[in-house]
Structure 1
Amino acid sequence: MLAFAWDGITSFSVVPLRFITLTGFLIFLATIFMSFYVLYVVFFTDRAVPGWASTVLPMYFLGGVQLLSLGIIGEYIGKIYKETKRRPRYLIEKEL
């Protein structure tokens, strides 16, 4: 039943693709804000851990950019999928 539910969620909607795009964008923004925090700690306090920022921040940054890129590519694939269904762009309610 879980496989059936998963097919129902992912087969007829682009919402999971938009969720991936949003997640990538949020991780990217969090990395930017975290970079400002790390710069603040390095320049204005003495609590900086050597090597932490240069290791962790690029991983988060690249992960966020990758998720954002995958989400954008997924949006294009979702639009292609909608077009291949060949559904009409409008519905005729009644003919005269």
Structure 2
Amino acid sequence: SVSDKIRLIRLERNYSQDRMAEVIGISKKTLVQIEKGRTEAGWTTTVAVCGLFGDSEILQSVLGDVPLEVVEIIAHNGVSSPKDRTLGGRVWWKEIQKE
């Protein structure tokens, strides 16, 4: 989704391709390839766009009010959580299984 919107985000900020590439840390050639749909933005580029352009109306329309939260959820997916630990005999974290 971010790859499809990079051009619109760039235009929303009135950035040239050179400036946008510089800001998100990729080459202009790579940016052009992403904008033309020839390649997808990598993870690092996606995180950079969400972090640096989180206030973009275009990005928020795709990922919600805080785009960086979506990145955090994806990044932490599958991280193991403590199970059945106690604090003074009380369970402070319990995972509920879904059937």
TM-score w.r.t. the length of structure 1 is 0.25
Compare CA radii of gyration and give the structure with the larger one.
Answer: 1
Q: RCO higher in 1 or 2 (8 Å CA, sep ≥ 6)?
A: 1
